[in-house]
Amino acid sequence: MGGLADELDVAEARSALAWWLEAGVDVAVQEEPRNWLKPAGPAAKPTLEPLPEPNVAQPSHETLLGLRDWLASSTQVPLASATARRILPHGPENAAVMLLSDAPALEDFTAGQPIGGEAWQLAQRMLAAIGLSGEDAYSASLSCFHSPGARMSEKDRAACAEIARDHIRLATPQRLLLLGDGPCMALLGKRLVEARGHVHKLEGLRTVATFHPRHLIKRPLDKSLAWRDLLLLMEDGS
């Protein structure tokens, strides 16, 4: 080839190489001629690694530990969502009393138990008044999720009630105290105002309904009614 060629400086060479790379030039010389006008073939589909399968197994219904593990990890627990935060049961098996409360609130999540903060302090005083300590109680909530703004559908309530009955049976407490409207509606089919003042039977246990400590903090005048409920809970007899 004749003629003179201008020499490229470093910057120009880098610019040319960058353009070649963008244009898809992968070799300077190749043995076979390339048909630059040939349509490109279909792009290879990226290989996606399979996502881990969620824990969708139902609780074993055989041990309290198995149920608690399911509540801690399953995506099938009622009201489970990406934004809901779990709060697991707290307390010993075979407790003197089981406290079953409404869905947990923010202060419960901060405390890491179904009843937390000022409400738990009041609950401990209520237990002490009937000769029990906080360590004598097993506390759980109808739904183990703190999910602000979420509403429990009838389907969710029925599912939570079924789980709660298994929970009561496996925890084997001596007595059961329902705190608030939620547990009363799910397990007794009544609002708290109707369920109060009566002894009920759930899974063979003496069961009484009363106000949630959060309610009593806002409405201290109802503490006298709650005291009557506590006495009714601890009375001897079936």
Read off the pLDDT of residues 69-106 as tens digits, 9 standing for 90 and up: 988 888 888 877 777 788 889 999 999 999 999 887 77
pLDDT at 37: 63
CATH, residue 210: 3.40.470.10
Tokens of 181: 């409207």
What is the per-residue pLDDT across 143-182, written as a single tens digit (0 to 9) for each?
Answer: 877 666 667 788 888 999 999 999 999 999 999 999 999 9
Instruction: Answer whether residue 51 is part of any domain.
Output: no
Q: Write down the pLDDT at residue 156.
A: 85
Q: Is residue 21 part of a domain?
A: no
The closest of 86, 191, 85 to 140, measured between CA atoms, is 86
Give the tokens for residue 8.
């490229």
Asked, for residue 53, whether it belongs to a domain, the answer is no
Q: Is residue 55 part of a domain?
A: no
6-47 pLDDT per residue, tens: 555 665 566 556 555 554 555 555 566 656 566 666 655 555
Number of structural domains the chain divides into: 1
pLDDT higher at 153 or 107: 153
Domain that holds residue 96: 86-234
In a domain, 152, yes or no: yes
Q: Give the integer Cα–Cα distance in Å for 130 and 56.
A: 41
Q: Using H for helix, E for strand and C for coil, what is the string for the chain?
A: CCCCCCCCCHHHHHHHHHHHHHHCCCCCCCCCCCCCCCCCCCCCCCCCCCCCCCCCCCCCCCCHHHHHHHHHHCCCCCCCCCCCEECCCECCCCCCEEEEECCCCHHHHHHCCCCCHHHHHHHHHHHHHCCCCHHHEEEEECCCEECCCCCCCHHHHHHHHHHHHHHHHHHCCCEEEEECHHHHHHHHCCCHHHHCCCCEEECCEEEEEECCHHHHHHCHHHHHHHHHHHHHHHCCCC
Kindly report the pTM of this predicted structure.
0.72
61 inside domain? no
Which tokens hold the place of 104? 């947990």
